[in-house]
């Protein structure tokens, strides 16, 4: 038996897609929160077995980002 087809299938296990910049990344297995390596936004992750899914944004993180943006535009 070859493992070729199995590898293809298991590639996406644990993978999520950032809802801010749409980059795919792998949160640490079982992590409740993960931040996107591309844009840095943090997300709550829900797990069903080994499948990861983005649940909702971590609002404190969003507020921090927004506050930083605001500061820059105000000056
Ligand atoms: Zn992102």
In a domain, 58, yes or no: yes
In a domain, 65, yes or no: yes
Cα-to-centroid distance, 19 and ligand 1 (Å) = 7
Torsions phi, psi of 38, nearest 5?
-85, -55
In a domain, 5, yes or no: no
The pLDDT-based confidence of 59 (bands split at 50, 70, 90) is confident
What CA–CA distance (Å, rounded) separates 8 from 53? 19
What CA–CA distance (Å, rounded) separates 46 from 33? 9
What is the domain extent for residue 70?
13-74
In a domain, 47, yes or no: yes
In a domain, 37, yes or no: yes
Cα-to-centroid distance, 49 and ligand 1 (Å) = 24
For residue range 1-48, what is the model confidence (pLDDT) as tens digits?
555 555 555 567 899 999 999 999 999 999 999 999 999 999 999 999
In a domain, 44, yes or no: yes
In a domain, 26, yes or no: yes
Q: How many domains does the chain have?
A: 1
Cα-to-centroid distance, 36 and ligand 1 (Å) = 5
Q: What is the mean pLDDT of residues 51-56?
A: 94
What lies within 8 Å, CB to CB, of 32 at 6+ separation is: 44, 45
In a domain, 1, yes or no: no
């Amino acid at each position: 038996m070859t493992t070729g087809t199995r590898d293809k299938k298991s590639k996406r296990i644990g993978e999520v897609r950032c809802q801010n910049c749409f980059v795919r990344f792998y949160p640490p297995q079982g992590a409740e929160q993960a931040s996107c390596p591309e844009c840095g936004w943090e997300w709550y992750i829900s797990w069903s077995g080994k499948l990861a899914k983005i649940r909702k944004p971590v609002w404190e993180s969003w507020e921090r980002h927004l506050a930083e943006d605001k500061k820059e535009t105000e000056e």
